[in-house]
């Protein structure tokens, strides 16, 4: 039996690892799936765990209000070193580029345990953007034994860094698997009545998220000013902004955008309601990695409020645009989309470069059988 310890801590890691854990569980008793959450996020992680009825075997419960990177890293490392020594897994499985991802990989290395990395190889090649994710993922790749890049672009990044081609398997992004698993529920409008009953059906919807550390301060303020201008000049539009719970986001967003009639600042939505809102939205403005991948699966164009993205595939395919944090650029691009100047949903879906819903199956096939037919 192969023992796989899956470790995650934040909302996006949970969303992207749950289909992998479910696939692993389907292979019992050949595989044993053990789940540990660091709970680097608490409420936002629990929303996902509850939705998918995942009960972790270990919950380190490490989130602290306004936590700093160094103490979070140290605390995760110390706890996970002990846990991995106790569980003695054959593999530690991590995803993405958070503090949990890197600390878990490092803890596994200290225990001489093999690491498999889901969503490997994403790069901007700018170590401060995104901060600290670019360095988290580069360092995780140094430690990793099996790399699962979602696309061939990500695979090429790994090869360019001298990583052995035999340890790399292109799988597609597991978020597409997650989306497919909830697709039936997305057609049942009645499920969303309670969480989204504030929506005005006669107004067009601009969905917004934002949380990147490199935007904190003046950039985040400028993005908010752009949203304010869009709302004040377009009465037929409603801006829906589920605000990230990080106080460095929550506080300035409420200060600048609070009290505007057609801007809804809301608590983070449960995943189903959020994806339903992507489906309903006329425009999406975000700096989120996951949303950049989900939107094209649902036929939506995305404005990315960053200067650079580790997901260049969407920009290249013409289904996403980098607009940075400049108010004029954001407003101009937003007005274009609101005026109908964008690709059709079917065309956007056709160009989606991020996956085919089979990523988790490929990952588990490689872990158990050493090979799979790759995503291309
Ligand atoms: C983290 C990840 C980022 C990822 C993002 C997803 C790092 C360094 N950053 O950023 O890569 O894109 O998650 O959302 O790993 N908080 C709560 N409740 C929650 C979650 C957060 O109150 O459920 C607040 C806490 O005050 C916490 C703060 O947000 O201290 C920051 O959380 P943290 O995980 O350190 O950073 P994020 O900005 O969420
Ligand atoms: N998401 C959610 N509720 C929200 C906002 C986002 O469930 O209110 C989901 C979204 O669908 C995506 C993920 O959270 O799958 C993205 O998380 P985030 O933007 O925090 O992190 P990133 O993907 O940038 O690392």
**pLDDT for 190:** 80
What tokens were used for 336?
């274009």
Summarize pLDDT for 257-266 with one digit per residue, the tens.
999 999 999 9
Summarize pLDDT for 186-234 with one digit per residue, the tens.
888 888 778 899 999 999 999 999 999 999 999 999 999 999 999 999 9
Domain-by-domain residue ranges, the chain?
Answer: 2-173+356-369, 190-351
The C-alpha atoms of residue 22 and residue 217 are separated, in whole angstroms, by 40
Bridge-based pairing of strands 204-208 and 237-242 is parallel
Pocket residue to mutate for ligand 1, from 62, 63, 210, 294, most atoms within 8 A of Cβ? 63
- Containing 256, the helix (H) or strand (E) segment is helix 247-257
**Could you tell me what percent of the chain has a pLDDT over 90?**
95
Could you count the other beta carbons within 10 Å of the beta carbon of residue 142?
12
- CATH topology match: 2-173+356-369 vs 190-351: yes
pLDDT band at 346 (very low <50, low <70, confident <90, very high): very high
Could you count the other beta carbons within 10 Å of the beta carbon of residue 350?
13
Pocket residue to mutate for ligand 1, from 7, 8, 10, 124, most atoms within 8 A of Cβ? 10
Helices (DSSP H) in the chain: which residue ranges? 11-26, 43-51, 69-87, 99-110, 133-143, 152-160, 174-181, 218-233, 247-257, 271-280, 289-297, 312-316, 327-338, 345-350, 359-369
Instruction: Name which residue sits closest to atom 24 of ligand 2, judged by CA.
Output: 288
The C-alpha atoms of residue 239 and residue 156 are separated, in whole angstroms, by 38
> How far, in Å, is the centroid of ligand 2 from the Cα of 11?
7
pLDDT band at 330 (very low <50, low <70, confident <90, very high): very high
User: For residue 129, what are the contacts with CB-CB under 8 A and spacing of at least 6?
Assistant: 214, 306, 307, 308
The C-alpha atoms of residue 135 and residue 124 are separated, in whole angstroms, by 10
Confirm or reject: Cβ of 61 under 6 Å from ligand 1: no
**pLDDT for 279:** 94
**pLDDT for 237:** 98
Ligand nearest to the CA of 305: 2
The C-alpha atoms of residue 68 and residue 73 are separated, in whole angstroms, by 9
Q: 93 near 171, Cβ under 8 Å?
A: no
Single out the residue of 41, 21, 16 nearest to residue 177, CA to CA: 16
Residue 114's DSSP bridge partners are: 91
**pLDDT for 292:** 98
> How far, in Å, is the centroid of ligand 2 from the Cα of 87?
30
Q: Quick check: pTM over 0.95? A: yes
Report the pocket of ligand 2 as residue ranges, CB < 6 Å: 11-12, 15, 209, 211, 242, 268-269, 271, 274-275, 288-291, 294
Ligand nearest to the CA of 15: 2
Summarize pLDDT for 38-51 with one digit per residue, the tens.
999 999 999 999 99
Q: 190-351: which CATH topology?
A: Rossmann fold (3.40.50)
> How far, in Å, is the centroid of ligand 1 from the Cα of 246?
6
> How big is the chain, counted in residues?
376
**pLDDT for 342:** 86
Confirm or reject: Cβ of 290 under 6 Å from ligand 1: no
Backbone angles phi, psi at 320, to 5 degrees: -150, 155
Return the active site residues.
Answer: 97, 119, 133, 211, 213, 244
- Containing 328, the helix (H) or strand (E) segment is helix 327-338
**pLDDT for 187:** 85
> How far, in Å, is the centroid of ligand 1 from the Cα of 327?
25
Burial class (CB in 10 A: 0-12, 13-18, 19+), 84: buried
Q: What is the DSSP letter of 42?
A: S
Confirm or reject: Cβ of 261 under 6 Å from ligand 1: no
Pocket residue to mutate for ligand 2, from 8, 9, 10, 11, most atoms within 8 A of Cβ? 11
The pLDDT of 237-241, averaged and rounded, is 98
Single out the residue of 93, 37, 11, 28 nearest to residue 363, CA to CA: 93
Single out the residue of 155, 183, 178 nearest to residue 167, CA to CA: 155
What tokens were used for 247?
């106080």
Superfamily grouping for domain 2-173+356-369: Glycogen Phosphorylase B; (3.40.50.2000)
Summarize pLDDT for 144-201 with one digit per residue, the tens.
999 999 999 999 999 999 999 999 999 999 999 999 999 988 888 888 778 899 999 9
Summarize pLDDT for 51-102 with one digit per residue, the tens.
999 999 999 999 999 999 999 999 999 999 999 999 999 999 999 999 999 9
Mean pLDDT score of the chain: 97
**pLDDT for 193:** 75
């Amino acid at each position: 039996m192969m023992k796989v310890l899956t470790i995650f801590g934040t909302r996006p890691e949970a969303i992207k690892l749950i289909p992998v854990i479910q696939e692993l569980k389907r292979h019992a008793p050949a595989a044993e799936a053990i789940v540990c959450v660091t709970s680097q996020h608490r409420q936002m992680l629990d929303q996902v765990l509850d939705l998918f009825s995942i009960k972790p075997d270990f919950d380190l419960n490490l989130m602290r209000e306004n936590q700093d990177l160094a103490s979070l890293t140290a605390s995760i490392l110390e706890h996970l070193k002990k846990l991995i020594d106790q569980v003695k897994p054959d593999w530690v499985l991590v995803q993405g580029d958070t503090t949990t991802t890197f600390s878990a990989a490092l803890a596994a290395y200290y225990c001489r345990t093999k690491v498999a990395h889901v969503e490997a190889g994403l790069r901007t090649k700018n170590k401060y953007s995104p901060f600290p994710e670019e360095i988290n993922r580069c360092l995780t790749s140094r430690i990793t034994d099996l790399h699962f890049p979602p696309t061939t672009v990500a695979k090429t990044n790994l090869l360019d860094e001298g990583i052995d081609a035999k340890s790399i398997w292109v799988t597609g992004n597991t978020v597409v698997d997650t989306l497919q698993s909830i697709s039936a529920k997305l057609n049942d409008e009645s499920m969303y009545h309670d969480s989204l009953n504030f929506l005005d059906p006669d107004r067009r919807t601009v969905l917004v998220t934002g949380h990147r550390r490199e935007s904190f301060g003046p950039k985040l303020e400028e993005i908010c000013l752009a949203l304010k201008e869009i709302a004040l000049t377009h009465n037929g539009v409603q801006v829906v902004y589920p605000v990230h719970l990080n106080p460095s986001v929550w506080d300035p967003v409420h200060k600048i955008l609070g009290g505007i009639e057609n801007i809804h600042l809301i608590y983070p939505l449960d995943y189903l309601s959020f994806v339903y809102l992507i489906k309903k939205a006329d425009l999406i403005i975000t700096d989120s990695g996951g949303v950049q991948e989900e939107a094209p699966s649902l036929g939506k164009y995305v404005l990315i409020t960053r200067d650079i993205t580790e997901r260049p595939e969407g920009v290249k395919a013409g289904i996403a645009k980098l607009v940075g944090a400049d108010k004029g650029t954001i407003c101009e691009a937003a007005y274009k989309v609101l005026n109908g100047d964008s690709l059709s949903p079917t065309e956007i879906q056709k160009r989606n470069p991020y996956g085919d819903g089979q990523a988790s199956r490929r990952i588990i096939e490689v872990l158990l059988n050493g090979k799979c037919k790759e995503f291309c």
